[in-house]
Amino acid sequence: MTFIRIPKSWEVSENEITSETIYFNRRRFLKTLVGAGIGASLIPLAGCQKSSSEAALEASLDLPKISSFHTNPAFAKVDRPICDRKLAGRYNNFYEYGSTKNIWLKAQKLPTENWQVEVTGLVKNPRTYDLDDLKKTFPLEQRIYRFRCVEAWSMVLPWIGFPMKSLIEAVEPTSAAKFARFTSFYDSDVTKGPGFHLGSLPWPYTEGLRIEEMANELAFFAVGIYGRELPKQHGAPIRMVLPWKYGFKGAKSIVKIEFIDTQPATFWNTVVPNEYDFEANVNPTKPHPRWSQATEKSIGKGPGLSWELKETLPYNGYGEYVASLYRV
């Protein structure tokens, strides 16, 4: 077992925190095994070598089907294959549960019963929704979106959920509301264990958007994926999906949404501000301080961890929807 030093302050050393770190080192390691290339081979992830963990993985994904949703024709297809369901379900980032290869398993501790989402702040109709309320109030649709992590890997994922703008219409932010802050579930009793449960990090995980960004057609809350309810490792029971931004903007397991008048502090931007900016739009011409963003590893044609190198597109290919939000 690896010893993880608990940092004394927010000044966490580079190898511990930066770059979504230790977790990604595993990917680099696998990459050297696989070599550069397309569909190279079926290398099992370490956490999945035994059939017992394979069964546990299947159990974590084998959730009730969502019966009533339509496929939004504008987002019915992407020019890359949809990621294999099991690969997406074991290739996650969810730092509340650690930074190791088996976050998907550790995240099964997340308690999703009686979930509530509090929508509050500068709105005319503040409201606390339970999950049934959300599903009844907002018609569900499927959207197949590209997903681009800041670490230069990408997947195509079939989400089920509803547009954020529907929630905006329901709660009616006042004219004073300029930003929204999104807060993930956090309970140190649940998440405790090795990994990124480091008391000095600014938990809970939070993210933020400008109201105009949130009102954009693309901004989405997912309550499902692959036709079923959202697995815990993907941020059950409700998470943000912002396909034109890097993956870290899409906070998981949302418990609170606040409409506010100033730009909120966010998790990664607080921890490593020079590496993770607030806006975090996918931009091939703006390198991360430690690596290029010009290309990405498009993951997931089959169940094995194989990838194809692709050029990264501005706004992750969604410029027609969002570029106007950023024109000066």
User: Can you give the binding site for ligand MTE, defined by CB under 6 A?
Assistant: 20, 92-96, 149, 184, 205, 234-235, 247-248, 250-253
Residue 43 near residue 33, CB atoms below 8 Å: yes
Instruction: Compare residues 53 and 92 and give the one whose CB is closer to ligand MTE.
Output: 92
Three-class SS state of 279 = coil
Instruction: Compare residues 14 and 169 and give the one whose CB is closer to ligand MTE.
Output: 14
Residue 74 near residue 321, CB atoms below 8 Å: no
The binder of 244, among Mo ion, ligand MTE, none, by C-beta within 5 to 8 A per type, is: none
Instruction: Compare residues 16 and 170 and give the one whose CB is closer to ligand MTE.
Output: 16
β-pairing verdict for 307-311 and 179-184:
unpaired
Q: Shortest gap between Cβ of 249 and ligand MTE (angstroms)?
A: 8
The binder of 250, among Mo ion, ligand MTE, none, by C-beta within 5 to 8 A per type, is: ligand MTE
The binder of 141, among ligand MTE, Mo ion, none, by C-beta within 5 to 8 A per type, is: none
Question: Token pair for residue 2?
Answer: 């690896």
Helix, strand, coil shares, percent, the chain, to 5: 30, 25, 45
Identify the H or E element spanning 148: strand 141-148
Instruction: Compare residues 96 and 258 and give the one whose CB is closer to ligand MTE.
Output: 96
Whole-angstrom Cα distance, residue 115 to residue 131?
A: 6
The binder of 184, among Mo ion, ligand MTE, none, by C-beta within 5 to 8 A per type, is: ligand MTE
Torsion angles phi and psi, residue 109, rounded to 5: -75, -15
Residue 201 makes contact with Mo ion by CB under 5 A: no
β-pairing verdict for 70-71 and 116-121:
unpaired
The stretch near Mo ion (CB under 5 A) out of 28-36, 89-97, 132-140, 225-233 is: 89-97
Instruction: Compare residues 122 and 147 and give the one whose CB is closer to ligand MTE.
Output: 147
The binder of 85, among Mo ion, ligand MTE, none, by C-beta within 5 to 8 A per type, is: none
Instruction: Compare residues 135 and 252 and give the one whose CB is closer to Mo ion.
Output: 252
Task: Output Rg (C-alpha) for the chain, integer angstroms.
Answer: 19
Residue 164 near residue 221, CB atoms below 8 Å: yes
Residue 119 near residue 167, CB atoms below 8 Å: yes
Residue 243 makes contact with Mo ion by CB under 5 A: no
User: For binding to Mo ion (CB under 5 A), which residues are involved?
Assistant: 93, 149, 247-248
